[in-house]
Amino acid sequence: MPWEKRFPTVLTAGCDDDTAATLKTLLGARGASVLSEQTAPAALQAFRRRPSDAVLLDLSSPDEDALVVLHTFVREFPATPVILLAHPSAMTQAATGIDLGGWDVVQLPIATPLLLHTALRNAMEKAETLRENRCAEAQFASLKEDAETPRNFGPVELERLANAIATIGKLRDPYTAEHQCRVAQLAEAIGRQVGLTDQELWGLRIASELHDVGKLSIPIEILCKPGKLNSLELDVVRAHPKVGSDLLASLGMPDHITQPVLQHQELLDGSGYPEGLSGSDICRNARLLTVADVVESMGSHRPYRPSKGFDRALGEITRNRGILYDVDAVDACLAVFSVPGHLGPSVARNSSGGCA
């Protein structure tokens, strides 16, 4: 949520009178409530009595070591953004402050208000994301604890459970949640092309909407890492089908849903994971889901890379038809994309869609 819509409370710490007045004017004009303490230790005590949404800590105060106070802030209040203010002569100290846990640096004197507003807005949005991640992780942990009691659900209960799990996932990682929804749309269209019954389509859709639920266990810094993953990080990522399948099974989800989740990264030639299955050892719905997942993943923007385009995605499954990907699934997917106005083009255009 943009900070301007929340009208946050900001505490300035260790600023001289002119800087404090400038900050109050600039931030107050954007709806923020600004409190000021002349020394960093006094600001820490004030924050303990009455927490603020963010802290602006001036590193140029001559009376105390602001970095010591910063270290205490970060230790006691790790979820609160602390933005450092520094004159050009104090940039070495500011770099140390970032290493200690400062969230950003704004140079003094403030020549461009936009830089201050941007730093605070970004910090507030990051703090909100971290809060949502903690909430999602707590809910995920609660799900795992609750899973110790076996259950047998009917279709209505399964649908509700699937929606609840998807909601938790969206709080933590909206990109993956939206990806799962688009994959489910495409997988269902592919399933119709190959002649699945309504009941089989329902199972395919639920499995597709939850196929990456195991990624809830992956640290967000690995999940969204833009560069190449190291071997340990790859092992963490490649565990997600098993983690997701085990979670869903423990919650009472039936095999026709958990099995495609477990096998959606398997490939016909046995080069996939987690079990290296090949050919008909991979269940049919997993083979359909794999093609939908590959096409949507390549065709859509991801946090760690831009879209490769749907033409390249369709070229990938065509080249590897019968090698990595199921022949019927590939032919059905190509048929979906070939019909003007059908689901394929709509998936290609919809980069932020969601589950209906």
Q: Looking up tokens 């949520």, which residue turns up?
A: 1
d(CA 164, CA 210): 11
Amino acid 345: pLDDT: 43
**Inter-axis angle of helices 327-338 and 284-299, nearest 10:** 50
Residue 217: give the domain boundaries: 147-349
Both 31 and 83 in one domain: the answer is yes
Question: Which residue among 80, 99, 127 closes a domain?
Answer: 127
What is the number of domains present in the chain?
2
Query: Is residue 117 one of the residues assigned to a domain?
Result: yes
71 and 152 assigned to the same domain: no
The mean-pLDDT minimum among 121-135, 234-248, 324-338 falls in 121-135
Residues 16, 78: one domain?
yes
Same domain, 243 and 164: yes
pLDDT digits (tens, 9 = 90+) for 189-244: 999 999 999 999 999 999 999 999 998 888 877 877 767 888 888 999 999 999 99
Mean pLDDT for all residues in the chain: 84
Q: What pLDDT is recorded for position 65?
A: 78
Whether residues 249 and 102 share a domain: the answer is: no
Which one has a higher pLDDT value, 285 or 28?
A: 285
- Given this model, what pLDDT does residue 356 score? 47
CA of 252: how far to CAs of 144, 146, 340, in Å? 12, 11, 40
Residue 197 shares a structural domain with residue 314: yes
Q: Residue 278 falls within a domain, yes or no?
A: yes
- In tens, the pLDDT along 292-329 reads 999 999 988 766 567 788 899 999 999 999 999 999 99
- Asked whether residue 183 falls in the same domain as residue 266, the answer is yes
Q: What is the CATH number of the domain that holds 17?
A: 3.40.50.2300
Residues 195, 267 within the same domain: yes
Distance, in Å, from the CA atom of 222 to the CA atom of 174, rounded to the nearest integer, reads 15
Most confident of 2-11, 28-37, 90-99, 312-321: 312-321
pLDDT band at 351 (very low <50, low <70, confident <90, very high): very low
| 140 part of a folded domain | no
Q: Give the tens place of pLDDT for each residue, 56-110.
A: 999 976 555 789 899 999 999 988 999 999 988 888 888 889 888 899 999 998 8
Note whether residue 141 is domain-resident: no
CA gap 120, 34 in Å, rounded: 13
80 and 156 in one domain?
A: no
Instruction: Report the CATH number that the domain containing residue 332 is assigned in CATH.
Output: 1.10.3210.10
Residues 6+ apart with CB under 8 A from 321: 327, 330, 331
Same domain? For 169 and 38 the reply is: no
β partners of residue 226? none
